[in-house]
Amino acid sequence: MPISVILAHPNPTSFNHAIAQAAVVELTHNGHEVRLHDLYAERFYPILPDHEIAKDAALPAEIEQHCREIAMAEGIIIVHPNWWG
């Protein structure tokens, strides 16, 4: 089963990274096809410009890749911090 693991944390030594890595290891061990995206490592820019809102808007290649992978995934795991003020 294809699984997308999406990680969003700036510190590569964080607990969130450990959680994501543990998920990847266990899922892979159990025979799943896992795609990990570390959004900070990929320098993912999370701002949605106006021109990307239209359904027929051209998207950057990395966004198109993420969209394809998520559409094909049978499971999605999102790992991110909860910042407590």
Q: What is the pLDDT of residue 37?
A: 96
pLDDT digits (tens, 9 = 90+) for 6-25: 999 999 999 999 999 999 99
Residue 12 belongs to some domain of the structure: yes
- What is the value of pTM for the model shown? 0.86
Q: Percent of the chain at pLDDT above 90?
A: 69
Residue 85 belongs to some domain of the structure: no
Q: pLDDT confidence of 68, banded at 50, 70, 90? A: very high
Q: What is the pLDDT of residue 15?
A: 96
- Residue 66 sits in a domain whose CATH number is 3.40.50.360
Residue in this structure with the two tokens 């949605």, named with its chain if needed: 48
Angstrom distance (rounded) from CA 58 to CA 28: 33
Question: Which structural domain range is residue 22 located in?
Answer: 2-79
Structural domains counted in the chain: 1
Residue 84 belongs to some domain of the structure: no
Does pLDDT of 53 surpass 80? no
Long-range (24+ apart) CB contacts under 8 A made by 55-60 are none
